[in-house]
Amino acid sequence: VTDDALRAVFESGAVYADRLDEPTRRAMAIDDPLTEPVAAALAAGRSVLITGNAGDGKSHLAQSALAALGDRRVAAVARSGPLPRDLAAGDVAFVRDVSAMSDQRALRSVADARGAGAAVLVTVNEGPLHALAAKRRGELYAQALRVVHARGAGDDPDDPDDLVVLSLAGRHLTHTRFVEEALARLLPTVRSCRTCAERRPCPRPIGAEQLAASPVARRRLGDLLRNLTATGRHITARELWVCLIDLFFGWECPGDPDEVARLPGFFWMRLFTGAYGPAREVAADFDPLRAPTPMHDRRLWAGEGAAPPGTPPASLARRGPEDAAAAYASAKRWWWFFEDGDEPDRLVSSASDALAFLDVLRAAQDDPDQVRGAVAERLNRYRLGLRDDDRVHVSRHHSLAAHRRTTVLAAAARVDLDALRVRTPYRWEARRYCDAGFLADRLLVGWDGVAHTLPVTYATWRILGGRRALSVQREHEAVDFALDLLMAQAPVAAAADAVDIDVFDHRARRHDHLRVNAVEQTIAMRP
Amino acid sequence: VTRIEPLELRSWFDEHVHDALGVGVLSTSPQPVHVVNGLLRHAVGDPRAAGAAVAAVASAPGGLAYPPEHVRARADGTLPGDDADLAAARAALRGLLAADGAVFRRYASFQIAHPALITNDPTDLSLGELAARLALEHGRARGALTRFAARLADPQPNPHWAAQAALADVAAQPAPPPAAPAADGWWADTNEGRPLARELGGLLRRAADLAAADTDALLAVHTLAQSATWAGLISYAQAPTLLGGGTLRPLLCQVAPPGALPTVRAASAQALSDVHAAFRRWVTSMLVSEVEVRFAGREPSRAALRSFLSGTIAFRETRDARNVQEQVLALYEQWRETTQSTAQAAAFALYDTLAAGLANKPQKWFAAVGRHCGFVGPRRGGGARLRVEQGLLPTLVLAGISANDGETVPFARWSRRLADRFGVLVGPDARTRAMHPRASEDELAANARALTDALAALGLARRYSDAVTDVLNPQVLWERA
């Protein structure tokens, strides 16, 4: 496949594995660590069910695994037409894209193949999987759904004996070599836009050449996309391709020969200003333009950098503030991508909690017990203004009004960390398929032996790290109410007589300590 | 001309509208804290004066209502003797006993965690009584409510119970018992209203069951309070339509942030306006019946009717009764020009006079009580519309649960039950498509997603990829291991 053919695919933006011809699909294929285990399972006669969101790469993975099977007989089940006949043990029935076929067909094809002793390879979105699991003869789907849901809820069930279940919804390709490999295929094909053609320098190839030459810039691009995982964003394989393609092929220069008018076409500008989803979300979490770096800012304003345009922003200011601002934005973002040293990376850490939350998620995935202290510390500080990471203070309030925030919270019980249970979704997959990018995007916090779970997402984590808002802020209300429900389930027993109550008034920032004896009916202040 | 007894609008309204609806709609004061107090007072009885607790935390303009020496005398050694310690203790106790600011010298509704603090406060304006009647007469919840009250008397592992137990007036006599329940003939006893009454009673029974089971007592009181308040709002929203022979009104609720989804916002605001319009039609139809009854079903003469109307006593006392009577007659003459029946014209004139006296009180009542329990937004300003705020979610989850449900219920089935049982809608549905103005399909879908997000964020639902959501059954989820 030539660069021109690949370029045509990229220019069209149509990166659907199902619709690409085989050579193009192979040229774009990125090695997937899941290919081998899927192929091995099929070769051993086990069935495999791959589920996930549209665009997660289910079809691509299935096709790669079948290609790796060698000369084994594979019978594809199409959307219509006769079902495969004469299947036997050792064969593989490929039930592709179940959501496109009738329930009856999806159920019968699996039942027939398994009845004949053949292995089955199924790709199905989770929505149809849910529907099929409820049908009669939908045992395989029901079995798979139970496993998928349990793993999503933080449990670690093993695969059933004769079935491998893979949910790509828990996979974050930004945490694999996917971005690097995709750029390796994409960057060599980038050419000038139609307006510039060969007549003048175009931001597309200039940016592509600079990125291809800079491992640091490629790493930072990958870091920004990776941080989205922490914010709860699951980027599918197709979205990643479209996002990267959009950086280099989504821009057409205006007819205006002015170099400032062409600045938005550089990838370092499009990543923060582009219309495409992940790019917008990257900018919402971090944009170097918002990060103050006084020393560098002065130099960049004076034009002491290699970033386009050639004219320094300070000089452009004489023409107008908008041109100067555009040139400065380009210079600052370019600097962030291409500057050697640690400072650009430190900017991300200080501007966004995403990296820190990613560390928490990784630690929790390795050993959930590691993060219990950090969780307890945030809960105690947010609710009661206490710095204590050794136990959880069971903070309560009893305001019944939905229209205003309560200001006084109190705790009469404390729970050891041993009782706090932290789990992460997709932990089983992360341990089984180490390099495949399975990573949690949230912590599931609860109490040992209690079913209720508080999902701690990045947004929740950030709120817990700040001061509890006392005005109407729905995000804080949601977190507080979720914590009310969590605290209500805490494994504490009622004291028969005296209890020590810590009361914290958030408005006055005041702690009071009461000793209350319900039997003797006395209330005293404690120091 | 035979003189027909004139209509006294205030007593007519109390007797017919209030009693038929089962709830007073003339004050914006009731909050869930009042309602759950009223519910428990009517359902399990034994309200107390709670004098020590009132002395400790009652508010008055400018701060606390009672001086330290009064508190010490009333609390009989329970509270610290030192002035500074006493002040600190009272400040802390106020947060534990009176967080919703509903404890005053004369009227006190506490954040109930102990049955000794159930009082006779009538601020709930019959909402608590309504909930009690629905729960007891239509929800078979007597056992659950009794068990709940008994459970509250046992030690609980929360700071509120200990503080309230310490301040309980165990030696004091119970306060006088509440007034007897209103007479029969309210909406829930009619054939048209009974199915809704059963659903609301069922919701309250499930909330009471939660409270009586091993679920945390504070959480249970919260859920019961919200459910009881919401039951009153649903009664007002649906009963007039049902009594008129109609089916449940579509109550489209905005779940997304208040500024989002403009077409859902508009449709939800209109749904609320339609609720009030249905209430007005219902009151008018009862006035028509009243006039017909008074004239024994015969078409009255003009003179008889003018004589009847001229005796009308206004809803609010006024120094200028003559002016009111002239207004009623003028309104009658205007309606007479466009209305075939003289009785109907007279009823319309009476309604207009009543409405002038009511001064939008039912609308203001619904908006205020709805805001207090998270069913109406925005929190401030105009443009009231139906909403679902965080605090209402456990109630809604219980409202969509059935007795035979297991640990989870698919979101689609649960939301369909909300619509079928109470008329509450959030997403695309044949009923939302039939509304005018009609919200866009995309925005309705986004609104439903906002609800699943909100439920998942609280741990009341599990979301899977491809938007599959299971609502978790609190009756199973909150059961301790």
Structure tokens at B311: 């005796």
Contacts B373 to A, Cβ<8 Å: 402
Tokens of A347: 């900017």
Q: What is the pLDDT of residues B412-452, one digit of tens each?
A: 999 999 999 999 999 999 999 999 999 999 999 999 999 99
Q: How many residues are recorded in chain B?
A: 481
Cβ contacts from A onto B, under 8 A: 221
Residue A59 phi/psi, 5-degree rounding, is -65, -40
Q: Is the pLDDT confidence value at B173 over 80?
A: no
The token pair at A61 is 């993975």
Q: How far is B128 from chain A (nearest CA, A)?
A: 14
Check B390 against A412: CB less than 8 A apart.
no
The one-letter amino acid at B369? V
Residues near A371 by beta carbon (within 8 Å), at least 6 away in sequence: A360, A363, A364, A422, A443
- Residues A76-83: contacts with CB under 8 Å, at least 24 apart: A77/A101, A77/A105, A77/A109, A79/A105, A80/A105, A83/A108, A83/A109, A83/A112
B361: left (phi over 0), alpha (psi -120 to 50) or beta: alpha
Q: Where are the beta strands (DSSP E) in A355-452?
A: 391-396, 408-416, 420-423, 443-447
- Reference A479, options A499, A493, A464; nearest CA is A464
Judge contact between A501 and B89, C-beta under 8 A.
no
pLDDT tens-digit profile of B387-396? 999 999 999 9
pLDDT tens figures, B265-312:
999 999 999 999 999 999 999 999 999 998 888 888 888 888 889 888
ipTM over 0.90: yes
What percentage of chain B carries pLDDT values higher than 90?
72
d(CA B448, CA B466): 14
| Residue entry with tokens 């009586």 | B212
E strands within A18-86?
A: 47-52, 74-77
Cβ pair A482, A192 in contact under 8 A: no
Residues in chain B within 8 Å Cβ distance of A401: 31-33, 100, 372, 391
By Cβ distance, the residue of A402, A452, A501 closest to B391 is: A402
- Measured CA to CA, the distance from residue A173 to residue A439 in angstroms comes to 10
Chain B environment of A146 (Cβ under 8 Å): none
The β-bridge relationship of strands B63-64 and B424-425 is unpaired
Give chain A positions within 8 Å (CB) of B89: 512, 514, 523-525
Nearest in space to B461 (alpha carbons), one of A146, B219, B469: B469
Say yes or no for a CB contact (<8 Å) between B80 and A152: no
Residue range B195-216: mean pLDDT, rounded: 92
Distance (Å) from the alpha carbon of B274 to chain A's nearest alpha carbon: 24
d(CA B225, CA A404): 16
Higher pLDDT, B192 or B170: B192
Residue B136 has pLDDT above 50, yes or no: yes
Mutate to test the interface with B, among A166, A398, A429, A502 (most CBs of B within 10 A): A398
Q: Which two tokens stand for residue B426?
A: 């959030």
Average the pLDDT over B106-130 and give the result. 94
**The pLDDT of residue A466:** 94
In contact, A490 and A392? CB cutoff 8 Å? yes
| Helix H or strand E segment including B161 | helix B159-166
3-state secondary structure of A414: strand
pLDDT band at B347 (very low <50, low <70, confident <90, very high): very high
- Tell me how far apart the alpha carbons of residues A11 and A189 are, in angstroms, rounded to a whole number: 10
For residues A230 and A440, give the distance between their C-alpha atoms in angstroms, rounded to a whole number: 8
Q: Contacts of residue A149 in chain B, CB cutoff 8 Å?
A: 462, 464
Residue B91, pLDDT above cutoff 70: yes
The pairing of beta strand A163-167 with beta strand A498-505: unpaired
Q: How far apart are the C-alpha atoms of B418 and B82, rounded to whole Å?
A: 55
**Alpha helices per DSSP H over A250-342:** 259-262, 267-273, 277-285, 294-302, 313-316, 321-338
Burial of A29 (0-12, 13-18, 19+ CB in 10 A): middle
- The span from the CA of A139 to the CA of A144, in Å, is 8
Identify the pLDDT of residue B465: 66
Q: How far is B100 from chain A, CA to nearest CA, in Å?
A: 6
Across the strands, what pairs with B471?
Answer: B409, B461
Q: What is the mean pLDDT of residues B104-113?
A: 96
Checking phi first, is residue A303 left (phi over 0); if not, alpha (psi -120 to 50) or beta?
A: left
Chain A contact set for B215 (CB, 8 A): 488
Q: Which residue in A262, A274, A339 sits closest to A300, CA to CA?
A: A339
Tell if the pTM clears 0.80, that is, is over it.
yes
3-state secondary structure of A402: coil
Identity of the residue in B168, B219, B372 whose CB atom sits nearest the CB atom of A401: B372
Contact A402 B389 (CB under 8 A): yes
Q: Kind and range of the H or E element at A15? A: none
How far from B411 is each of A289, A319, B127, B261, B473, CA to CA, in Å?
A: 43, 58, 30, 21, 11
State whether residue A201 is helix, strand or coil.
Answer: coil
Of B47, B45, B64, whose CA–CA distance to B103 is shortest? B64
Query: Cβ of A450 and B159 within 8 Å?
Result: no
- For B85, nearest residue in chain A (alpha carbons): A525
User: Which residues does A219 contact at the CB level (< 8 Å), separation at least 6?
Assistant: none
Instruction: Compare CB distances from A525 to B80, B113, B390 and report the shortest one's residue.
Output: B80
- All residues of chain A having their beta carbon less than 8 Å from the beta carbon of residue B374 are 402-403
Task: Give the rounded distance of the alpha carbon of B192 from its chain centre.
Answer: 20
Per-residue model confidence as pLDDT tens for chain A (527 residues): 788 888 988 888 777 766 778 888 888 889 999 999 999 999 999 999 999 888 888 988 999 999 999 888 999 998 888 888 889 999 999 998 888 899 999 999 999 999 999 999 999 987 788 889 888 889 999 999 999 989 988 999 999 999 999 999 899 999 999 999 999 999 999 999 999 987 888 999 999 999 999 999 999 999 999 888 888 888 888 889 989 999 999 999 998 778 889 999 999 999 998 777 787 888 888 999 999 899 899 999 998 877 777 788 998 898 889 999 999 999 999 999 999 999 999 999 888 888 899 999 999 999 999 999 999 999 999 999 999 999 999 999 999 999 889 999 999 999 999 999 999 999 999 999 999 999 999 999 999 989 899 999 999 999 999 999 998 889 999 999 999 999 999 999 998 789 999 999 999 999 999 999 999 999 999 88
Residues of chain A with C-beta less than 8 angstroms from the C-beta of B456: 455
Tokens in use for A19?
A: 């619709």
Pairing between β-strand B424-425 and β-strand B251-252 as defined by DSSP bridges: parallel
What is the rounded CA–CA span in Å between residue B142 and residue B133?
Answer: 10
**Residue B211 distance to chain A (closest CA, Å):** 12
- Contact residues, chain B, for A493 at CB < 8 Å: 157
H runs (alpha helix) in B374-433: 393-399, 411-422, 430-433
Task: Tell me the pLDDT band of B467, cut-offs 50, 70 and 90.
Answer: low
Closest C-alpha to B53, from B139, B166, B184: B166
Chain centroid to Cα B16, Å, comes to 18
- 8 A C-beta contact, residue A148 and residue A140: no
Q: Are the Cβ atoms of B85 and A152 closer than 8 angstroms?
A: no
Write down the pLDDT at residue B359: 86
Interface test with B, best of A400, A403, A450, A464 (most B CBs within 10 A): A400
If phi over 0 gives left and psi between -120 and 50 gives alpha, with beta otherwise, what is residue B179?
Answer: beta
Alpha helices in A367-457 (DSSP H): 372-384, 427-432
β-pairing, B461-463 vs B469-472, is: antiparallel
Please name which of B450, B431, B435 lies closest in space to residue B390, comparing C-alpha atoms: B450
When CB atoms are compared, the residue of A403, A455, A510 closest to B379 is A403
pLDDT for the residue numbered B481: 47
Q: From the CB of residue A134, how many other CB atoms can be counted at a distance below 10 Å?
A: 12
Please name the residue of chain A whose CA is at the shortest distance from the CA of residue B163.
A516
Mean of per-residue pLDDT scores for chain B: 91
Distance, in angstroms, between A443 CA and closest chain B CA? 12
B386 neighbors B252 (Cβ within 8 angstroms): yes
Please report residues of A whose CB lies closer than 8 A to that of B480: 450, 489, 491
Q: Residue B401: its pLDDT value, please?
A: 96
- Checking if the pLDDT of B322 tops 80, the result is no
Q: Which of B161, B166, B476 sits opposite A521 (nearest CB)?
A: B166
Dihedrals phi, psi of A365, to nearest 5 degrees: -70, -40
Q: Are A47 and A162 in contact (CB under 8 A)?
A: yes
> Considering only alpha carbons, which residue of chain B is nearest residue A494?
B157
> Which residue type is seen at B242?
L
A343-351 vs A321-338: helix crossing angle, rounded to 10? 110
**B183 has pLDDT over 60:** no
Which among A53, A472, A495 is the nearest to B379, CB-wise? A472
Q: What distance in Å separates the CA atoms of residue A288 and residue A308, rounded to the nearest whole number?
A: 16
Nearest of B401, B408, B411 to residue B451 by alpha carbon: B411
Question: Which residue from B minimizes the CA distance to A51?
Answer: B465
- Classify A320 as helix, strand or coil: coil
Do residue A398 and residue B113 have CB atoms under 8 angstroms apart? yes
